[in-house]
Amino acid sequence: MPIEGESRGGKRPVLVVLHQERSSAGRVGQMLINKGHALDIRRPALGEKLPETLAGHAGAVVFGGPMSANDPDDFVKTEIDWLNVPLKENRPYLGICLGAQMLVRQLGGKVQARKDGQTEIGWYPLRPTEKGRLLMHWPQMVYHFHREGFDLPHGADLLAKGDTYPNQAFRYGENAWGLQFHAELTRAMMQRWVVHGEHRFIMPNAQKGREHLEGRMLFDAALKAWLSQFLDIVFEGKQALAA
């Protein structure tokens, strides 16, 4: 179970859960290391176990993957059950795409595709709710790569909305956060996704690979700046100031 970076200034490592052998924590990982956290990387899909407690961690990030939170695989069910650990211990938890959908399942909500088959694959508008605006500034466009969305769990606060899939960002309790979109992609990761995901670009509402890369030039700087602030809120307990 690899450890990336060094914990500095007394900060504990962040547990990072990835779902494929070549998956990376991307910009989230780079930023957390720059903020003084080491990364404790685990891949349950490859048989690696998750810790029984997060007492030794600053929190956890569960990333996306090609699988569904509805899949019958043992590791998917085990991961969803494990999310009771950060919830019960009130430790910071960030779920990105699949990680958010697993949190929704743990909280009793549904994860499903639209009946018309529309996806979000590419760059799409994001609109913060009133609670989202009070928390921080949000980017106007965000990057997606998914064909399922999720219900807002009972008791959760919706922070941002989209057009095709309305629930884009939420907070549950003090420390559990879910994002439907991807802010973690480095340029190399996006190029890899565009190459390996090309067969998905014919799906309803999906954008072509050229639009993914053009959108990055237009929208990524704001998304990157937002991500750094957001990680400070989740893992450092800081409050960003909204105008």
196 is catalytic: no
Of 97, 144, 146, 212, which is the active-site residue?
97
Q: Considering 4, 79, 120, 184, which one is annotated as catalytic?
A: 184
Write down the catalytic residue from 19, 37, 144, 182. Answer: 182
Q: How far apart are the C-alpha atoms of 164 and 56, rounded to whole Å?
A: 39
Strand partners, 128: 160
Q: Is residue 48 annotated as part of the catalytic site, yes or no?
A: no
The question of whether 57 is a catalytic residue gets the answer no
User: Known catalytic residues?
Assistant: 97, 182, 184
